Chains A and B, each alone.
Chain A
Amino acid sequence: MPVDSFKYLPRSIAAYYQTLVVQKADPIPWTAFSKPLNECRVAAVTTAGIYNKDSDPPFDAEREKREPMWGDPTYRRIPRDVRRDQIGASHLHLNNRDMLADVNTVLPLQRLAEFESGGVIGSLAQTNYSFMGFQPNTTEWRERYGPEVAGLLKDEAVDAVLLAPA
């Protein structure tokens, strides 16, 4: 049975989403996956708005409260061995309880590390990334932060990215 995208959305938000017009990418960007998976470095990226409290500030929730049509477009680095007590969450549109209890619900670092020790993937990237998914205006993601993180991932010789919108 096909996945119902609207199953867990309140009806008003579902109705709103269905009115939005989006330009479909044509052609859809494509980088063929050419290496064997067990030789690949894989990184994980989430839009759950998590951050490493020991090294970074939260996403700017205070500004979003003042400007409800703005979402913080920046990103945070999440090291592969981040500890549970280091994770902070600053997404104003989600109940952050479960991602704070277990980061794997949004950024499956320990799961990917297990696939690494099992030889399924070559390696998990040292640095993974978090964005904050409420972006009424995606210009900064497209023009600045998306390409910037792509460059950082390539600097660490990442081949493939597991990306999970929250």
Chain B
Amino acid sequence: MLAQEFEKAGLSTVTVTMMPYWAEKMGTPRTLAVEVPFGHAFGTPGDRDMQMSVVRAALALLEEAREPGATSEVEIEWPQPSDEARKDWQPSEPSPIIKMMREQAQARADAARSQEQ
């Protein structure tokens, strides 16, 4: 959505995202999809080659895209097993909204339990 605002203002944008699902749903001018955990759009810390390959692919899409909604992908190999990576990108403390949703779910479960009794 920031991409939409920048593009409306006369800037050409390329969005590098791990959620092309979302970019497509919103209507994004140019989308480079990369299969990485959240918080790591350009790769792992210190991995210059991985970071360069993502940036290179993004610049290529900027040059080559001919119409709005253009997409491409860059293949990278994530060094962690998926299960580990799925946990590792998450914060050590649950975010406020996750905390709130869990508390609400717990309250509903408690209410249901006390109704049964």
Cβ contact within 8 Å between B63 and A37: yes
Closest B residue to A160 by beta carbon equals B12
- Give chain B interface residues in 1-52, CB to chain A under 8 Å: 1-22, 25-29, 33-46, 48, 51-52
Cβ contact within 8 Å between A33 and B65: yes
Interface residue? A87 (CB, 8 A): no
A105 proximity list for chain B (CB < 8 A): 39-45, 51
On chain B, the number of residues with a Cβ less than 8 Å from chain A's Cβ atoms is 70
Cβ-Cβ contact count across A and B, 8 Å cutoff: 227
Specify the main secondary structure of chain A where it touches its partner. Answer: loop
CB distance from B27 to the nearest CB of A (A): 3
Q: Digitize A121-157: 1 where CB-to-B-CB distance is under 8 Å, 0 elsewhere.
A: 1000000000100101010011000110111011000
Q: Give A contacts to B, CB under 8 Å.
A: 2-10, 17, 22, 24-33, 37, 42, 45-48, 64-65, 67-69, 91-96, 98-99, 101-102, 104-106, 108, 111-112, 114-115, 120-121, 131, 134, 136, 138, 141-142, 146-147, 149-151, 153-154, 158-166
Given A8-B85, A29-B5, A142-B1: 18 more A-B contacts, CB < 8 Å:
A8-B18, A31-B12, A45-B6, A98-B45, A108-B51, A111-B42, A111-B51, A111-B55, A115-B56, A134-B95, A138-B1, A147-B9, A150-B9, A154-B9, A159-B11, A160-B13, A164-B15, A165-B18
